[in-house]
Amino acid sequence: MNSYKILVIEDEKNICNFMKMIFETNDYQVIMAQNGKNGLTMFFSHNPDLVILDLGLPDMDGIEIIRKIRAKSDTPIVVLSARTDESDKVEALDLGANDYVTKPFGTAELLARVRATLRNSRFQGTGKSVRESFSLYDMEIEYDARKVMIAGEEIKLTQTEYNIVQLLALHAGKVLTYAEIIKKVWGYSDYGSVKKLQVNMANIRKKFGEKPGEYKYILNELGVGYRMNDV
């Protein structure tokens, strides 16, 4: 039994009913708002643990709601986007949304995003002492030794490659945008740095033995960024 309270801000009745059923079946408390104005009122009066926010609402733009919530609170926000336009997702993430789910979505995907987001936000700011290692399928990372192993064999990474892998692993399950990764790994961001990140990622994938279209460790979020898988 978990006692997390989720606020869903979404105007489509079918999707509301679907999510209410999924979340209640999985022991979450759910409260619902069908427009942005009610959503903000409920957010500030009910203090939810997580917000699911549709970007396309009848009365206001979801982006505006992210701004208003982030001005006062760090409560995790997962955006629902019917839009295939990557720039909306990047804008939402840059404004402080924690992740997104693209419609149409399935039960497993929705629950996985919510779990990863709650876990990531719990760990934030607690330092790495709480996590000494990371494992995913046959991959293992020992953070103190800065060592990555696959099937027991050490993978030789450059410092930069290791920093990218560690950053993604520390946020496993969460998408990190190109800009976020670049800023954290290189400390700056310029026009050419996405290319540099992509070159490093190609080398990491090669060393991990991953082939295009069969990525199982680090997932491509096309036009947005990368996500360490979380199973």
Segment interacting with Ca ion (CB under 5 A) among 4-12, 129-137, 149-157, 215-223: 4-12
Long-range contacts of 203-206 (CB under 8 A, 24+ apart): 203/158, 203/161, 204/157, 204/161, 204/164, 204/165
Both tokens assigned to 51: 């917000």
Q: Which residue, 78 or 170, has its beta carbon nearer to Ca ion?
A: 78
Segment interacting with Ca ion (CB under 5 A) among 11-19, 22-30, 41-49, 215-223: 11-19
Alpha carbon distance 91, 76 (integer Å): 16
User: Which of these, 204, 222, 131, lies nearest to 161 by C-alpha position?
Assistant: 204
Q: Which residue, 84 or 198, has its beta carbon nearer to Ca ion?
A: 84
Q: How far is the CB of 1 from Ca ion (least distance, A)?
A: 31
Both tokens assigned to 84: 């295939």
Q: How far is the CB of 63 from Ca ion (least distance, A)?
A: 13
Alpha carbon distance 123, 170 (integer Å): 9
User: Which of these, 119, 102, 89, 110, lies nearest to 223 by C-alpha position?
Assistant: 89
Q: How far is the CB of 58 from Ca ion (least distance, A)?
A: 7
Phi/psi of residue 147, each to 5°?
A: -120, 135
Q: Which residue, 64 or 142, has its beta carbon nearer to Ca ion?
A: 64
Task: Give the residue closest to Ca ion by C-beta.
Answer: 56
Interface of this chain with Ca ion, residues 46 to 85, rule: CB under 5 A? 54, 56
Segment interacting with Ca ion (CB under 5 A) among 5-13, 121-129, 183-191, 222-230: 5-13
Q: How far is the CB of 11 from Ca ion (least distance, A)?
A: 5
- Measure the CA dihedral 128/67/63/166, to 10°: -10
Q: How far is the CB of 6 from Ca ion (least distance, A)?
A: 17
For position 96 contacting Ca ion by CB under 5 A, the verdict is no
Q: Which residue, 54 or 161, has its beta carbon nearer to Ca ion?
A: 54
Q: How far is the CB of 119 from Ca ion (least distance, A)?
A: 27
Q: Which of 11, 64, 86, 142 binds Ca ion (CB under 5 A)?
A: 11
Both tokens assigned to 137: 């399928």
Instruction: List the x/- string, 199-218, binding to Ca ion by CB under 5 A.
Output: --------------------
**What sign does the dihedral 122-54-39-2 (CA atoms) show?**
negative
In three-state secondary structure terms, 17 is helix
Residues lying near Ca ion in the complex (CB under 5 A)? 11, 54, 56
